[in-house]
């Protein structure tokens, strides 16, 4: 029975990740994303980033660059999936980070992750 519960949780989090990836694709088509380490840093610097999504397997050096930039402009940060999945979600090669620049889309992504499950499933960390 414990294995069955575990499988349900995993399926639920996988479907949430796929829904988040779907929303990222929508944001990309709407022109509401900045991608890659430098693109994300630039969107943070100019105050456009509303949510930063970081790949779970991103290089610590890349993550440090982004987090240093966020010290001056706090932005919600979520760690989700891997570089391949994050890049595929926005139609690109593997990437370490994506910034959502539309407030309504950023809110939808956060809502999809679920306020109570963000820490457990997505590594949510508000900044």
When pLDDT is averaged across residues 90-103 and rounded to a whole number, the result is 95
Q: What is d(CA 110, CA 96) in angstroms, rounded to the nearest whole number?
A: 19
Q: What is d(CA 24, CA 105) in angstroms, rounded to the nearest whole number?
A: 8
Domain residue limits, the chain: 2-122
CA 106 to chain centre: 9
Percent of the chain scoring above 90 in pLDDT = 69
Tokens of 70: 């966020």
19 Cβ contact list (under 8 Å, min separation 6): 112
What count of other Cβ atoms lies within 10 Å of the Cβ of residue 53? Answer: 28
- CATH topology assigned to domain 2-122: 60s Ribosomal Protein L30; Chain: A; (3.30.1330)
pLDDT in tens, 19-67: 899 999 999 999 999 999 999 999 999 999 999 999 999 999 999 999 9
pTM strictly above 0.95 = no
């Amino acid at each position: 029975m414990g294995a069955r519960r575990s499988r349900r949780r995993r399926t639920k989090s996988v479907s949430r990740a796929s829904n988040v990836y779907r929303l990222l694709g929508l944001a990309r088509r709407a022109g509401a994303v900045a991608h890659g380490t430098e693109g994300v840093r630039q969107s943070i610097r100019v105050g456009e980033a509303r949510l930063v999504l970081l790949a779970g397997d991103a290089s610590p050096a890349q993550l440090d660059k982004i987090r240093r930039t966020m010290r001056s402009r706090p932005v919600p940060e979520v760690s989700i999936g891997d570089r391949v999945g994050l890049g595929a979600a926005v139609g690109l090669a593997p990437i370490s980070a994506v910034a959502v620049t539309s407030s309504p889309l950023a809110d939808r992504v956060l809502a999809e992750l679920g306020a109570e499950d963000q820490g457990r499933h997505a590594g949510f960390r508000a900044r």
